[in-house]
Amino acid sequence: MSRNAKINTLLLLLVAALAVLPLALGLGEGKEEPFAGADGQAEAAITEMRPDYEPWFSPLYEPPSAEVESALFALQAALGAGVLAYYFGVRRGRRQGARAAAAAAPDAES
Amino acid sequence: MHIAEGFLPPLHAAAWGVASAPFVVHGARALTREVKANPESTLLLGASGAFTFVLSALKIPSVTGSCSHPTGTGLGAILFRPPVMAVLGTVTLLFQALLLAHGGLTTLGANVFSMAVAGPWAGYGVYRLLKKSDVPLMVSVFFGAFFADLVTYCVTSVQLALAFPDPAGGVAGALAKFGGIFALTQLPLAVSEGLLTVLVMRLLMQSSKADLIRLGVAKLTASREATAR
């Protein structure tokens, strides 16, 4: 593995460790809902502070179940990852093409 | 950082909408100008938007025992400057508001302001400051992305504190409460986002050095990344 690839792998491992450590250390223990979303907690805090507050608008479309919602989140991530992969694929192909052309050019002249 | 649909009083929702609109309009102009002037940027612009799409879909556990997600706006802000990110961030937020019931149309202005305006500008500012001093490029990139992420959540906390002051502690008390929910949770995630942005920037250094030079991110000479390969 090149030095570059090693650094990149290390970066990924660090990110994975940061995500897994809170789970492994059980930091969600003692909570009513371990590892709930912060957005939802903020909503709960609002209703707790201002029990009289009524949301005055509701979403036009709401995923009918947690499964459908997670599917749509996965779709969002997949779309993004797909475009990113396409970008790096195109770039790699162009570089290889340029290299091949450069290697072939001297032969064509002689 | 998504304030749920209907969870800001109408006056606040409208005010944040008015505050965000000029940034998005200005951003849309900057975006079309960039695409017209440099058609070869389109692909990288798409990749920057895609990075935000991926990162804001990932809910990651944090030290506070709750989950939150990165924003992915630092990368685009560093590459194309913050105005462009105002547009790309708004697209992401619209997708989530319309399809996922995550965030909302009435709170779109507030969410755009935190994630697509304040975050990118803060991150870009930190990146530029560090770049002027003599630190390695990747250090500037890391802290740029770190602050773009963290500031977004701090702004959300302020927005909620202004709208819902604590009956006992006032705005400051509410800020402490919402900050505890958002900012603290976000710290390790901001580190993750910094690391991931550095990773993508390193890959771009390998694959698209010419673009990075044109965008003023990389310099022609000083690049250990290029020679190390």
| Domain B10-217: assigned CATH number | 1.10.1760.20
Cross-chain Cβ contact A37/B66 below 8 Å = yes
The answer, for A19 touching chain B at a CB cutoff of 8 Å, is yes
Contacts of B205 (CB under 8 A, 6+ apart): B212, B218, B223, B225, B226
pLDDT at site A82 = 97
Is A86 found in the same domain as A70? yes
Q: Give yes or no for residue B61 having a pLDDT over 80.
A: yes
The answer, for B46 touching chain A at a CB cutoff of 8 Å, is yes
Is A47 found in the same domain as A71? no
Torsional sign, CA A66, A67, A71, A74: positive
B166: three-class secondary structure by DSSP: strand
**With a cut of 0.85, is the ipTM above it?**
yes
Is A101 found in the same domain as A74? yes
| Average pLDDT over chain B, rounded to an integer | 94
Mean pLDDT of the region B124-138 = 95
Is A104 found in the same domain as A75? yes
Percent of chain B topping pLDDT 90? 93
Mean pLDDT of the region B61-70 = 94
Q: Give yes or no for residue B186 having a pLDDT over 80.
A: yes
The count of domains in chain A is 2
Q: What is the pLDDT of residues B166-181, one digit of tens each?
A: 988 999 999 999 999 9
Percent of chain B topping pLDDT 70? 96
Residue of B nearest to A17 (CA): B192
Q: Give yes or no for residue B224 having a pLDDT over 80.
A: no
pLDDT at site B223 = 46
Tokens of B214: 């044109």
Cross-chain Cβ contact A49/B166 below 8 Å = yes
The answer, for B80 touching chain A at a CB cutoff of 8 Å, is no
Tokens of A29: 């223990």
Cross-chain Cβ contact A19/B192 below 8 Å = yes
Q: Give yes or no for residue B11 having a pLDDT over 50.
A: yes
Residue type, A3: R
Contact A18, B185 (CB under 8 A): no
Q: Give yes or no for residue A1 having a pLDDT over 60.
A: yes
Q: Give yes or no for residue B229 having a pLDDT over 50.
A: no
Is A73 found in the same domain as A47? no
Q: Give yes or no for residue B228 having a pLDDT over 70.
A: no
Q: Which of A22, A62, A91 sits opposite B62 (nearest CB)?
A: A22
Cross-chain Cβ contact A11/B198 below 8 Å = yes
Contacts of B158 (CB under 8 A, 6+ apart): B175
Spell out the domain ranges in chain B: 10-217
pLDDT at site A28 = 84
Mean pLDDT of the region B127-153 = 96
pLDDT at site B184 = 92
Phi, psi of A37 (to 5 degrees): -75, 140
Q: What is the pLDDT of residues A38-90, one digit of tens each?
A: 999 999 999 988 899 999 999 989 999 999 999 999 999 999 999 999 999 99
Is A71 found in the same domain as A49? no
At residue A29 the predicted structure's pLDDT band, cuts being 50, 70 and 90, is confident
Q: Give yes or no for residue B50 having a pLDDT over 90.
A: yes
At residue A108 the predicted structure's pLDDT band, cuts being 50, 70 and 90, is low
Q: Give yes or no for residue B28 having a pLDDT over 90.
A: yes
| Nearest to B11, CA basis, from B159, B166, B113, B152 | B159
Mean pLDDT of the region B208-221 = 89
Range(s) of the domain holding residue A22 = 1-56
Mean pLDDT of the region B202-225 = 84
Torsional sign, CA B154, B185, A65, B51: positive
Is A74 found in the same domain as A37? no
Is A69 found in the same domain as A105? yes
Q: Give yes or no for residue A107 having a pLDDT over 90.
A: no
